[in-house]
Structures are given as C-alpha cells and as structure tokens.
Amino acid sequence: MQKSLSPLMRKLGYQFNQLSLLEQALTHRSCKGQHNERLEFLGDALLGLIIAEALFARFPQTREGDLTRMRSALVKGVTLASIAQELGLSDFLRLGPGELKSGGFRRESILADALEAILGAIYLDSGMEACKGRILEWFGPRLEEIAPGQQKDSKTQLQEYLQGLRLPLPTYEVIATIGEAHQQTFTVRCTVLGRTPITATGSSRRKAEQDAAALALEQLKHDR
C-alpha cells in the first residue's frame, strides 16, 4: 500500500490538483513506469530563472559574476538536497529495489533531483506563480543570508590564491572512476607546483575537484 502524500503536501505548502504529477516527481528512474527525469529538467530551468530574478532584484548594484556565483551556490546539489531533507522528501521517494538497498533515499543527487521535479510538477499543475511562491518560501532564509563575494567555490579560491603568489594554476586529473553510470564515484588528483598532490573523492567529477581544491588551499595556507 502506498503512503498517503497528504503530509508531504502540507510540508510543501502546496495542494496538488493532479496528484499523479507529485507521484511522478517522487519516482526515481530505478522504478518501473514514469519517472521524474523530465519533470526534473523542467524544474531545473524554472529554479534557475526564479532564483536569478530574485537575486537581480535583491542586489541591483551587484556585478554579473557575483550574481552567477550566488545563483550557483543556491541551486547546487547540496543546497537542494538540504532543502529536500527539510521538507521530508526522503520519506516519500519511490525507488527501485537496488536504490532502496543502497540507501538511495539519503543520496544527495536523488534528493536534489526530486526537489527540482516537484517544482516542475507544481508548474504543470498550477503555473509559474505557484511555482515561484514555493521557491521563494523554501529558499527564503538562504536568499536572506547570501551576499556578494561570499560564494566563490574552492577551485576559484585556490586559483586566486595561487595567482596572488604568482604561481601556476593547479591541474586536475581523474585517477579513478568506480561504479555504474548512474552511481559513479570519482577520485581526482589536484597538483600545485612544488607541493604534494592532493586527492579527493566525490559523487561527481566536479565535486571531487572542488573537494581536492579545498584541501590543497588548506595545505597551502597551513604551510605559509
């Protein structure tokens, strides 16, 4: 028997007219039948637009580069997964046997994708204003806290730090990839001239590179 979605809709602050849209948004591709990838595609585009619009209005004097970094920080996977957890999505995800066994309901990418899919579902169910309202409420505290210049990622921080020391830019190399296509783990080596290479592992190449850059920057600052 499937779990009632009424408690989830109360948490979302939105009552679906077409419950099938919410059901699809919660269904991972590891399940048979209609899954949430198309809704995720739509939700991703909507989220990017509405967050960009909110930042544009909130920071009228801020340059494009800082606006882009703030948007990236707000829509990145770890942020979306955190909001998904706050809304209790993990209790309602519909996963295939393999994902259930491996704890997919806790996986960052699955939670983030489901949140975007729900946004796509709300848009199809009630239109842009309903979708915008949910985004501004769910992301409200983070929009209040964010500020220009605080959101440079680890790779950017490392690059700027090395430029300040007049050192060459770091290099990144994937040295291992483990797992199936939809569930891979990447190990990346970050090399800074004259320093011991740093390795880090992540659920995507980008995440592994960012983590390696953060460790390399920490090492550089510690050694000075």
Provide the 8-state DSSP code for 193: T
**26 with 132, same domain?**
yes
Alpha helices by DSSP H, listed for the chain, are: 6-12, 19-25, 37-58, 64-75, 77-86, 97-101, 108-126, 128-138, 140-145, 154-164, 205-223
**109 lies in some domain:** yes
Same domain for 133 and 26: yes
Last residue of a domain, one of 107, 125, 145: 145
Among 23, 40, 99, 116, the active-site one is 116
Q: Which residues of the chain have pLDDT under 50?
A: 1
- What is the reported pLDDT for 202? 87
Q: Of the residues 23, 44, 113, 209, which is catalytic?
A: 44
**Is 75 inside a domain boundary?**
yes
The structure tokens 């979302």 sit at 12
Are 188 and 106 members of one domain? Answer: no
Give me the number of domains the chain comprises: 2
Q: What is the pLDDT of residue 145?
A: 86
| Residue 211 among the catalytic residues | no
Containing structural domain, residue 213? 154-223
Do 19 and 51 fall into the same domain? yes
My answer on whether 92 and 158 are in the same domain is: no
Q: Find the CATH number of the domain harbouring 70.
A: 1.10.1520.10
Same domain, 184 and 137: no
CA-to-CA distance for 142 and 146, rounded, in angstroms?
6
CATH number at residue 198: 3.30.160.20
User: pLDDT value at position 200?
Assistant: 92
Domain-located, residue 1: no
pTM over 0.75: no
Closest CA to 160 of 148, 173, 169: 169
The reported pLDDT for the residue numbered 154 is: 84
Active site includes 108? no
pLDDT of residue 79: 86
Instruction: Please say whether the beta carbons of 36 and 99 come within 8 A.
Output: no
